[in-house]
Structure 1
């Protein structure tokens, strides 16, 4: 229905109305600012309950000054597989705050907790990328932490002399037709049942096994080829081969030359350049995932330079969850410049000062997850002595 404004509104009255609306908007912004309470130098926390899309939602927010805190990705049990509660990971590492992070394999197998996309910790690649999905890239410099949100592809190759062979995966269950790398972070052995496995130490093949489940050397790695993986390495990879084996990786992304220490995965991008930008279709997710009101975990870079972590509770009478579109629009209203969605649903967890502050949706309570982003206070430099 079109709205018709009668000409009885004079310029003066219109100007007054405009002024009133401006004041109202400013008050709304001030109210939002007042919701945040400083809990540590560099960490502000807010709990908000509001109606979005006709349902009430409970929202927990952490607003961080990246000059005063650092961000680190940690996997459950400090390994490449396995699961652990967000709160447990945070407490083990002495974090002030944390949220659950990347998507992961959620089942009862021995591979539970395997990242369902990129995972890199302290520069070590623990899991390969998947479907050019969204990722958060973190670098902790001495003066401040830098964060980039980007769509990411990682490739990894094994080089031996003039020969190069692409790897199908890193630290995960290997299929019969795949060539997979296993590093010490995966565990004591490859957990395979068959195939040809090349145990490498200091760049040299020290043993070839044909029975699977090879031990992974602490100072090396294992290259595992499935029985149906037919490629030239069968002919060239030998214990007596003089060529050194070198692993190389590369990044195809929109993050420029940014060098990250830690990376974890998400689906999907929410905001790019201060505009709503949902990429779930490009990232091969589905409409139900995007549009259903799920519990959500997300991160955002704000226009004032601060960094935001957010959880939205769902699947309860008190909090109805949120779609990706509504989540993006809400983050935009908070001043988000770039934002991405992390693992949600029953995984959604926010930890602060020794306790979980949101309400996880699983009936058992907090869920064990694959990896988390931890917030740690930076140590203040010592005061300069007076002369």
Structure 2
């Protein structure tokens, strides 16, 4: 009898750790949008999960940056409300400090076909194409080739719409700010349809119909003599079969790392230059996945709140997504940024003491 009781206790413990979202957990909140709240884990270490399951034939997805700019921060709920979205989750990683550059995307960002931030470390990203009949999403590891040329020579661009550092060339677009926010070192070339104009005092005004090439040294003096300049920015997918999709994608935002590929857990944290601690420590998490049935899954996992929700490691997150039917998935910004918005309110419990954190961008859900 004692053996049977112990065996039963072990079985119950296993089931306590394996609480997945069953079909009956989801409820339809709009045509094409299902929502579920799930608690798993144990009584001592609960894990609270919020899920949005989306029919791509009935919804449209858009990536929107805070304040509709290239820098700056704003709450996910505020971004969603301003744009009239039904639902939303926070999206990419970003510079989170008190500087004027706060909200600078820490990786690739493309909005409405315009590249607003460069890639970093070949990290994974999600791309979106809103077709006439349905929305498509794809995941892939991306890098950007960017340069400015006069037809004979070219200068490699270090970054797009971010702080200029020593020995760097940065391109500033109108979405960045009214001016480049740079110092007086180096030089800047204001490019419009007319002849490029040289500025040596820094903090140049960015033309609404052009861009500014900001150079922090004198190594590329040929730029000063160029009568015409052309900016070239290309997105390259490391998975060649995904090149066509990402070349046409309307919106792209970076994450880190890949979690699932072709139905298998493949956490590419070393390739994407993140840390083992980030992967193996339980944190609040945000992720997006494609499901076997063609639907799209958005997920938030609350954490850093003992007694309420402890968060997940990336392995735990990937395993959960696999159980949910994910064929492909990536991790997005988590921690205090983790937020899910639905029908006018935040439905998860963000971990920051101050409540919902201001972030750089969000993935918004609209009804078709």
- Scaled by the length of structure 2, the TM-score of the pair is 0.91
Q: Which residue of 2 aligns with 1:274?
A: 263
Moved over 4 A (4+): none
SS at structure 2 position matched to 1:91 = helix
CA contact (8 A) 2:191 2:229 kept: no
The aligned counterpart of 1:248 is 233
- 1 CA distance for matches of 2:118 and 2:325? 32
The unaligned stretches of length 5 or more in structure 1 are 1-23, 379-387
Residue 62 in structure 1 maps to residue 52 in structure 2: yes
> Which 10-residue stretch deviates more, 247-256 or 271-280?
247-256
1:236 Cα deviation after fit: 4.0
> Could you report, residue by residue, the CA deviation over 1:20-65 in whole angstroms, capped at 9, with x for unpaired residues?
xxxx9xxx98x71011010011100000111179721000000000
Partner of residue 181, structure 1 = 171
- Of 105, 125, 130, 2:120 maps to 130
Corresponding residue for residue 302 of structure 1: 291
Pairing partner for 1:237 from 224, 232, 236: 224
Q: 1:157 to 1:54 in 2, by over 3 A?
A: farther
User: Which of residues 129, 140, 152 is equivalent to 2:142?
Assistant: 152
Count of residues paired in the alignment: 345
Partner Cα distance (1:203, 1:133) in 2? 37
Return the alpha-carbon distance in structure 1 between the equivalents of residues 106 and 43 of structure 2: 30
Cα distance between partner residues in 2 of 1:310 and 1:118: 21
120, 125, 139: which is aligned to 2:129? Answer: 139
- Aligned equivalent of 1:201: 192
Residues 156 and 221 of structure 1: is their aligned pair in 2 closer, same or farther, counting only changes over 3 Å? same
Hey, what does 2:244 align to over in structure 1?
257
CA displacement, residues 178-224 of structure 1 (integer Å, 9 cap, x when unaligned): 0110000001000001220000112630x211111100000000000
Give the CA RMSD over aligned residues.
1.7
Alignment check: 8 A CA contact 1:35 1:46 kept: yes
Select the residue among 10, 18, 43 that pairs with 2:33: 43
1:362 pairs, out of 338, 346, 352, with 352
Residues in 1 aligned to 2:125 and 2:356: alpha-carbon distance in whole angstroms: 24
For the residues of structure 2 that align with 1:84 and 1:357, how far apart are their CA atoms? 17
Q: Which has the larger radius of gyration?
A: 1
Residue 257 of structure 1, CA deviation = 1.1
Asked whether the equivalents of residues 138 and 145 of structure 1 are also in contact (C-alpha less than 8 Å), the reply is: yes
Distance 1:58 1:250, change over 3 A: closer
Matched, 1:286 2:271: no
Output one character per residue of 1:97-151: Cα deviation in whole Å (capped at 9) or x when no partner. Answer: 0000000000000000000000010011100000010100111111111110111
Give the distance between the partners of 1:263 and 1:181, measured in 2 at CA.
Answer: 19
Matched residues in 1 for 2:152 and 2:64: separation?
A: 36
